[in-house]
Structure 1
C-alpha cells in the first residue's frame, strides 16, 4: 500500500485540509511554499496516465473543486496559487498515487517562459 493510501486509511497521521467521499487533501510534510497542500483521490490511481474516462471523471473533477475551496479557505485564492501534477519518474513524481500539489502564500517564480515569435 502506498503512503498516500495509508494516509487515506488513517494509518499515518496527516493535517487534513479537505475531505469528501472521493478526495482527501492534507498539508505536505516538506512544504515547498508557505501553503503546500497535497490533493489526492481516495481511489488509488497510479498516475494521470491511468485515469479512466467515465469511471474516474467525478473524482478528477472534485480534485479541482477541492483545490479552489482550499485556496479560498487558506487565503490564497485572490493572490494566486499553483496547482501541479507530476506524472512518472522524469517529472519528479515521488509517490505513485495520482495527486496535485497546491502551492501558494508567496510570489512563485515562473516555470514557463512565454516569448513572442
Structure 2
C-alpha cells in the first residue's frame, strides 16, 4: 500500500500535465499517463535517474548509446523519462525479442 501511495502521489504531482494532454488528444493523454506510471515505478523501486537530460535536443536527431541488463526495463524507464521531459519518443536498435513485447510489436 505504501508503494501504491507513493506512485499515486507521483502521478498526482503531474496531474495538470496529464489533464492538458487529454484535452488535446486521447492517445497523447494515454501516453503521458503510462509514461508517468513507469516514471513513478522507476523512481520508487529503483531510484532511476537520467543524467545529462539537458544535452538531449528538443527536436532533431540524437544518438544515445547505453547498456542494460538482462531485461530491458531500464529502457522503458528511459523512454518514459524522455517522453515526459522532452515530449519525444525514441527509436531503438534492439534484440528481436523486444519487438515481441505487447506495445512494442512492429506492425
TM norm structure 1: 0.27
TM norm structure 2: 0.29
| Higher normalized contact order (CA 8 Å, seq sep 6+, divided by chain length) | 1
